[in-house]
């Protein structure tokens, strides 16, 4: 063989060997990749099997289109069914009959969409118990796998049921409470109306008793007769004050009491109370004094009438329950902002004091400390209850510090508005002579014969000329025929009441002189006063009216002033 042929053959062989080696390398790499892929697949299969085994959710996977289905172990642990006894048809059988249709509907929806469908149904376990399952069904993007995952929500459903029951119960209880509150409010309102009506009925004859006694006292009497008449007047007045207390308390309790806001001089309000009780303190040999802190502004804005009422009650108690020594009232600021000034009032006495166990009780209605001391001093046990209602209604608080046999300090706080910028011009005060009412023509509109007689006598004593009308309708007639300077108008009357009569009078006056009309009524509820003013009345006198308050009112509206003071 020629040499070049040999070389050529060797060359070919070498190339073939190289190619073979290269091919082997590729085959080895391919084998390695195949082995790795196999390992991955078996790892994934292992993971999937582990996931199915350990899941606490029910899992059911169906391959399509052959419909082969696998169930995980949870079906057995949760429901008692072994995977081999289950099939998609069997699932439908173990679902509660009422929930099958929603389940079918969910399946239909899943067939028509690619996403997930959720549905809840009750499933009957092998032992017959029911479990609530929340299903989540999905289809693989390639459409060949249907996966159903069911989570046990029986406990959640149970709690939900309990929660709904409690919510329902609470709702019911709220409604019952609201009903009870409505009934209680209604009952309190009825009670307060009853007290108001009773008080009206009692006040009418009381008006006669007080008034007639006052008239009696203006006639010549011997000493014994005078003493009896004075006792009669004092008893009638104290009966009236008990009646007023009862009425006031029932109004405050029914929350039908009204509160006013006005600008007032705080020092004047405090000293008015002190002056009123000065004679009583003097009679008991007590020193009565008051200190108002210089920090307090001259004027405050609040309910001056209610403040005086509370202070009067406390100072009058202090005087009542102190046999010797002193009663001191102190007033100072305890808190101040731009909008609010909180004032603390203290009434200190050196009296009988209050035992610790009684200090809270005495603010309850009708509570009086047992013992001869209280009996001897009288009272209704309503004063402090009224004070507490007023103070708390106005946003303050009230209490007592006391030591038996050494004395007490009753205190309360009350918020007020600060002084308004512009202080109103003081009203010009008119001065009247003793005969300022002589010849003043007054029309008394009153249906009750005793009251007619009584008020007529009081008016005649002032020198007034009195005309009488027994009803609102008659008053309208009389006013058409005769001129009068003022009308004293009873409110409750048969035929035509005082409010209607006033409205009619005001209509008939249009453009002409306006006659002052003063309500004279035994109605004592808050709101009556407003009704009178709304009807067109100018002032309001509550029966039984004393000679003094009647005179003051008449002077204001029909008196002839002697001079004008500025
Ligand atoms: P009243 O004075 O009409 O009995 P209150 O409600 O004003 O009713 O007072 C209730 C009770 O509190 C009184 O009966 C009395 O026992 C006691 N009390 C009130 N103020 C004082 C005081 N300053 N000192 C001692 N006891 C008092």
List, for residues 312-331, the tens digit of each pLDDT value: 999 999 999 999 999 999 99
Least confident of 91-95, 376-380, 513-517: 376-380
Q: Which of 311, 318, 362, 364 to mutate to test the pocket of ligand 1 (most atoms within 8 A of CB)?
A: 362
pLDDT of residue 278: 87
Ligand 1 atom nearest residue 369's Cα: 16
Task: Indicate the range of 108-122, 220-234, 482-496, 497-511 predicted with least confidence.
Answer: 108-122
352 CA: nearest ligand 1 atom: 25
pLDDT at 2 > cutoff 70: no
Q: What CATH number does the domain located at 441-564 have?
A: 3.40.50.2300
Domain limits, CATH 3.40.50.2300, in the chain = 441-564
Looking at the chain, how many residues does it have?
566
* CATH entry, 261-418, from 3.50.50.60, 3.30.565.10, 1.10.520.10, 3.40.50.450: 3.30.565.10
The Cα–Cα gap between 513 and 523 comes to 29
User: Residue 355: which pLDDT band, with cuts at 50, 70 and 90?
Assistant: very high
In 3-state terms, what secondary structure has residue 481?
Answer: helix
Q: What mean pLDDT do residues 11-24 have?
A: 89
Name the segment(s) of the chain with CATH classification 3.30.450.20.
53-152
- Phi, psi of 141, deg, nearest 5: -55, -35
Where does the pLDDT of residue 421 fall: very low under 50, low under 70, confident under 90, or very high at 90 and above?
A: low
* Nearest-atom index, ligand 1, CA of 363: 6
Whole-number mean pLDDT of the chain?
86
The per-residue pLDDT for 215 is 87
Which residue's CA is minimally distant from atom 12 of ligand 1? 362
Res 377: pLDDT: 64
Of the listed ranges 71-85, 341-355, 384-398, 529-543, the least confidently predicted one is: 529-543
The percent of residues above 90 in pLDDT, for the chain, comes to 40
Query: What is the pLDDT, as a whole number, of residue 121?
Result: 93
Contact 485, 507 (CB under 8 A): no
Q: Retrieve residue 346's tokens.
A: 């203290």
Name, of 104-113, 250-259, 329-338, the range with top average pLDDT: 329-338
192-206, 377-391, 467-481: which has the minimum mean pLDDT?
192-206
Q: Tens digits of per-residue pLDDT, 453-480?
A: 888 888 988 889 999 999 999 999 999 8
SS3 state of residue 115:
coil
**How far lies 246's CA from each of 41, 207, 392, 462, in Å?**
95, 17, 19, 33
Q: In the prediction, which pLDDT does 228 show?
A: 92
Residue 491 pLDDT class (50, 70, 90 cuts): confident
User: Which of 316, 321, 391 maximizes ligand 1 atoms within 8 Å of its Cβ, making it the mutation to test the pocket?
Assistant: 321
CA of residue 319 to ligand 1 center, whole Å: 11
What is the arithmetic mean of pLDDT over 339-351?
A: 95
The per-residue pLDDT for range 27-49, each reduced to its tens digit, is 999 999 999 888 888 888 888 78
Report the topology of domain 53-152.
Beta-Lactamase (3.30.450)
Residues with Cβ within 8 Å of residue 265, at least 6 apart in sequence? 298, 299
Query: Residues lining ligand 1, judged by CB closer than 6 Å?
Result: 317-318, 321, 349, 351-352, 354, 362, 367-369, 374, 379-385, 408
pLDDT of 384: 94
Atom 13 in ligand 1: residue holding the nearest Cα: 368
Q: Where in the chain is the domain with CATH 3.30.565.10?
A: 261-418
Tokens of 255: 């929350």
> Residue 412 — pLDDT band, cuts 50, 70, 90?
very high
Query: pTM of the full predicted structure?
Result: 0.53
140 vs 59, more confident: 59
Q: Is the peptide bond before 17 cis (omega within 30 degrees of 0)?
A: no
Beta strand pairing call for 407-416 and 341-349? antiparallel
Gap from CA of 246 to ligand 1 centroid (Å): 16
- Checking if the pLDDT of 257 tops 90, the result is no
CA distances from 378 to 69, 125, 230, 317 (A): 96, 81, 19, 11
């Amino acid at each position: 063989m020629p040499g070049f042929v040999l070389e050529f053959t060797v060359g070919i062989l070498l190339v073939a060997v190289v190619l073979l080696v290269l091919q082997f390398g590729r085959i080895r790499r391919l084998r390695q990749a195949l082995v790795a892929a196999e390992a991955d697949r078996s790892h994934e299969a292992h993971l999937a099997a582990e996931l199915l085994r350990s899941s606490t959710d029910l899992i059911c996977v169906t391959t399509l289109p052959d419909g082969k289905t696998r169930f995980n172990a949870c079906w057995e642990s949760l429901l008692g069914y072994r995977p081999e006894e289950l099939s998609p048809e069997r699932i439908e059988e173990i679902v509660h009959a009422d929930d099958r249709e929603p389940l079918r509907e969910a399946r239909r929806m899943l067939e028509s969409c690619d996403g997930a469908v959720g549905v809840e149904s009750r499933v009957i376990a092998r032992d017959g118990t029911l479990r609530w399952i929340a299903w989540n069904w999905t289809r693989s993007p390639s459409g060949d796998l249907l996966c159903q995952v069911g989570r046990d929500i029986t406990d959640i459903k149970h709690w939900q049921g309990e929660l709904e029951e409690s919510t329902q119960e609470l709702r019911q209880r709220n409604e019952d409470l609201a009903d009870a509150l409505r009934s209680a409010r209604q009952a309190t309102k009825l009670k307060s109306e009853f007290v108001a009506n009773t008080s009206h009925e009692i006040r009418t004859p009381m008006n006669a008793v007080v008034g007639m006694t006052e008239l009696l006292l203006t006639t010549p009497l011997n000493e014994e007769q005078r003493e009896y008449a004075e006792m009669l007047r004092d008893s009638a007045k104290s009966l009236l004050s008990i009646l007023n207390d009862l009425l006031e308390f029932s109004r405050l309790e029914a929350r039908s009491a009204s509160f006013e806001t006005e600008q007032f001089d705080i020092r004047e309000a405090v000293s008015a109370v002190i002056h009123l009780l000065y004679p009583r303190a003097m009679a008991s040999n007590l020193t009565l004094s008051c200190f108002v802190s210089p920090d307090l502004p001259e004027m405050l804005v609040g309910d001056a009438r209610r403040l005086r009422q509370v202070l009067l009650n406390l100072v009058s108690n202090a005087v009542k329950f102190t046999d010797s020594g002193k009663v001191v009232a102190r007033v100072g600021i305890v808190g101040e902002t731009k909008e609010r000034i909180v004032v603390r009032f203290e009434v200190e006495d050196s009296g009988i004091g209050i035992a610790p166990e009684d200090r809270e009780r005495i603010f309850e209605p009708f509570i009086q400390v047992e013992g001869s001391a209280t009996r001897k001093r009288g009272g209704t046990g309503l004063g402090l209850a009224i004070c507490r209602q007023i103070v708390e209604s106005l946003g303050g608080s009230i209490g007592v510090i006391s030591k038996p046999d050494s004395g007490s300090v009753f205190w309360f706080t009350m918020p007020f508005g600060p002084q308004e910028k512009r202080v109103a011009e003081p009203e010009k005060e008119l001065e009247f002579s003793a005969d300022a009412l002589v010849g003043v023509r007054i029309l008394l509109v009153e249906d009750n014969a005793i009251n007619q007689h009584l008020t007529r006598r009081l008016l005649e004593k002032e020198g007034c000329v009195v005309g009488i009308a027994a009803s609102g309708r008659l008053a309208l007639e009389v006013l058409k025929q005769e001129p009068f300077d003022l009308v004293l108008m009873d409110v409750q009357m048969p035929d035509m009441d005082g409010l209607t009569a006033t409205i009619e009078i005001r209509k008939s006056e249009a453009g002409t002189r306006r006659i002052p009309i003063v309500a004279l009524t035994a109605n004592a509820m808050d709101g009556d006063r407003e009704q009178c003013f709304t009807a067109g009345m100018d002032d309001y006198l509550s029966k039984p009216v004393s000679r003094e308050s009647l005179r003051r009112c008449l002077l204001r509206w029909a008196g002839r002033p002697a001079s004008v003071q500025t």
